[in-house]
Amino acid sequence: MANPTGDLIHAPKQIQDALTIASALEKQSKALSNLSLHSQRLSRQFERILIQLRDLQQSRREHEAAEMNKALDLRQIAENAGETYNPPRWLRFFNR
In terms of phi and psi (left: phi > 0; alpha: psi -120 to 50; beta: otherwise), the region of 60 is alpha
In terms of phi and psi (left: phi > 0; alpha: psi -120 to 50; beta: otherwise), the region of 95 is beta
**Average pLDDT value for residue range 41-63:** 97
Residues 6+ apart with CB under 8 A from 79: 85
pTM more than 0.85: no
Residue 12 one-letter amino acid = P
pLDDT at 7 over 70: no
For residue 4, how many other CB atoms are within 10 A of its CB?
Answer: 19
